[in-house]
Chain A
Amino acid sequence: MNTRHPLASLLITCFIAVTFLLSFTATGAAQDPDWSRQAESSLKSMVDEVLVIIKDPELAKDPKSHEKALYDKAFDIFDFQTFSMLALGPKYRKFTDHQREEFIRYFSKLISQTYFPKLAEQDITNLTVDYVKNTPMKVRRKIYRTDILTELVRKDLEVPITYRMIRKNNQPWRVYDIKIEGVSMAANYREQYRQQISSTPDEIIAQLKEKVTL
């Protein structure tokens, strides 16, 4: 009585074989660096575009419009939603949709007013960016992520900068976190917000608003 019907055994074997095969091809796809190279090339063009704006002699004359131009550009570079999610950590869940928008609005300004001057400092003419290493992460839920290590070189001063890139739902590649000399900006904010145990979303937004000069 315990013996299975031959057809059932066949089906089960087939099923197991198929799942095995599929899982193998799936892991194969996960390791495929094709999309991570795509991320790198889009990062390259982003950085080049930013450098063009930074080096623009016309814009450089007026710091305010220069900042504005870079801030507008920032939205083509960063995925501020994911960035904010990472910066707020579990607190993000307490934010309503409207509060999230508000937070993102000010946070994006803060990031662009902090990050771009770092790129623009001093000798812009001698500034080069080397692409050192590309570390793709496992694809989960159709979300592609990779860490691209670059080196910002000015004369003999080198700053390692890692861009953490994301692509979700077939949207273009975006940066969702920057690590400068091993220090992740998102993680840094997350630790700061973690310490502010009792602050409400509105307080956090107000505090951020104060920091923004743009």
Chain B
Amino acid sequence: MKKLQACMAGLILSLLFCFTALAGQFHALEDDRVIFLPQLVLANADTQMTAFEDDLFDEYEDEAQQAQMVADPLYYFNYAMYGVNDFLYFYAFKPLAQGYKFVVPTVARHGIKNFFHNLLFPVRFVNCLLQGKGQAAGEEFSSFFVNSTIGILGFNDFAQTHMGLEPHKEDLGQTLATYHIGDGFYLVLPVLGPSTLRDTVGRVGDMFGNPVRYVSPWELAWGLRSLDSINKTSFRIGDYEALKAAAVDPYVAIRNAYIQNRRSLIEK
């Protein structure tokens, strides 16, 4: 008798399981095919939404733990520097870049941008190698070779426009990150802007790969650096304003944007 009972219970249980599994399966199928379960779906709509909320919240809690956050122990210093940079942008860099943009034709600005980009080839090349990205290093080398010759000293990015060779944005900060060195903490550098301890170290290291550093009268070197940064700014007028306008808390927004952007570059 006991055997029979157990058997019946087993039968009922397995049938139940089968049905729920089947129902679940129909859910997973295209929605149009769930016609025979409409009430169930409707009744579940609300609970489904809260469950979806839970899923979303879980998902980005994970995300938050591994990526989004960075310590900011120098908050007061950083905030002050953020203020300084903000002031410098609106009262020095932006007006300069606007004037520059007005005077220098777009073609020339693109040329100058390409020239400085090409000049930084050693930094990208070395960091590709340090990260073990052989193919990327090879592509960088080809780009440099082609742009320096056919592209006339790098003023034309022939490699990208005609050969489809995309640049690889690699720097020492990213290399260190691939060696599992963490951000350390957030740091706002005067004039240079948002960074982290690791990325600042990387920046210093990368300076040695920048040919501008070895230009002999130092006035010329600084002139070149200023030209590079004003030229770059001339392409990005409005971006900073937009970010600030959209932000509820611009300082936090910029910090988070920097970290997220770096994460995405490191992943590549």
Chain A residues within 8 Å of B, Cβ to Cβ: 5, 7-8, 11-12, 14-15, 18-19, 22, 25-26, 29-30, 82, 85-86, 89-90, 92-93, 110, 113-114, 117-118, 121, 139-143, 155-157, 168-170, 179, 181-184, 187-193, 195-196, 207-208, 211
B3, B57, B252: the one within 8 Å of A90 (CB): B57
Q: What's the count of A-B pairs with C-beta under 8 Å?
A: 129
Is B246 in contact with A114, judged by CB distance below 8 angstroms? yes
Of B27-35, B86-94, B219-227, which binds chain A? B27-35
Closest to B4 in A: A5
- Among A86, A114, A121, A188, the most chain B Cβ lie within 10 Å of the Cβ of A188
The answer to whether the Cβ of B238 comes within 8 Å of any Cβ in the partner chain is yes
- 12 extra interchain contacts, Cβ-Cβ under 8 A, other than A22-B24, A170-B32? A5-B3, A7-B7, A8-B10, A117-B242, A121-B238, A141-B52, A142-B31, A156-B157, A157-B235, A182-B264, A187-B60, A188-B256
A114, A169, A182: the one within 8 Å of B45 (CB): A169
A22, A93, A110, A182: the one within 8 Å of B260 (CB): A182
Chain B residues with Cβ under 8 A from A187's Cβ? 60, 63, 68, 256, 260
Chain B residues with Cβ under 8 A from A190's Cβ? 60
Q: List 23 A-B contacts (CB under 8 A).
A: A5-B4, A8-B11, A18-B18, A19-B18, A26-B28, A30-B28, A113-B246, A114-B246, A141-B48, A141-B52, A156-B161, A169-B45, A181-B264, A182-B261, A184-B260, A187-B63, A187-B68, A187-B256, A188-B256, A192-B252, A192-B253, A196-B249, A211-B246
Given the known inter-chain contacts A142-B28, A143-B52, A181-B261, please indicate yes or no for A192 contacting B245, CB distance below 8 A: no
Chain A residues with Cβ under 8 A from B256's Cβ? 183, 187-188, 191-192
